[in-house]
Amino acid sequence: MVNCVVKNWQGEDVGETSLEMKVAKPENAEHIVHRALVRQANNSRQGTASTKTRAEVRGGGRKPWRQKGTGRARAGSNRSPLWRGGGVVFGPKPKDYSVKMNRKERRLALRTAFTSKVDSLIVVDHLNEDLFPQPKTKEFVSALSRWGVSSGEKVLLVLSEITENLYFSARNISTVKIIEATSLNIYDVLLADKIVTTSEALAKIQEVYND
């Protein structure tokens, strides 16, 4: 169990909360997190790249010139891979890159990755509509600074529920990504320099992923 300081909107310490998750053993942690990361990267690939072989390229049915007597190299089709406009040798074809990983392993890897970021975790008591009566990016940037986020750091904002005004306040900041607690994934967790979450979202994460 790890204790985390809870900050308010002004960046002041107002309490503590605990983070308790079952993680992988130290000797297996790096391996299982890597497997989960590779799985997510592979599963995000479309695998739709496709080229045509000489059999699929249109044309090329007639022999370009007679076999002998022209002084040129023998040619049976102008759709040979050697010709401009010809087929492609060993080019890509549609392929399924997806990798299977058991659900319990995926959850274990995510918990391990999230817990490893505990030193970069910033817990805020709440981020509701009262703080954002209207979208205001400048106010949100100032809040990030008060919470200890440096300029240029990648921030993962994890919320139990994404309100409209908060979304509009943060969407134009290129270094900030907003996700719901139920959509947590290992790539975003590892990519972030700082993870900002609310007490409610942190409780939700432990409830959802601690099975």
What is the average per-residue pLDDT within 60-81? 94
What is the average per-residue pLDDT within 19-25? 88
Q: Are 1 and 19 in contact (CB under 8 A)?
A: yes
Mean of per-residue pLDDT scores for the chain: 90
Helix and strand numbers, DSSP H then E, in the chain? 6, 6
To 10 degrees, what angle do helices 103-116 and 199-209 make?
A: 150
* CB-side neighbour CA atoms (13 Å) of 156: 23
Task: Read off the pLDDT band of 75 (50, 70, 90).
Answer: very high
- Tens of pLDDT, residue by residue over 174-211, are 999 999 999 999 999 999 999 999 889 998 998 888 87
- Tens of pLDDT, residue by residue over 136-173, are 889 889 989 998 888 889 999 999 888 888 898 888 89
What was the pLDDT predicted at 92? 95
Q: Which residue has the higher pLDDT, 188 or 7?
A: 188
Q: Are 166 and 92 in contact (CB under 8 A)?
A: no
Please name each of the domains of the chain with its CATH number: 2-45+99-209 (3.40.1370.10), 47-96 (no CATH)
pLDDT at 20 over 90: no
pTM value is 0.81
What was the pLDDT predicted at 3? 80
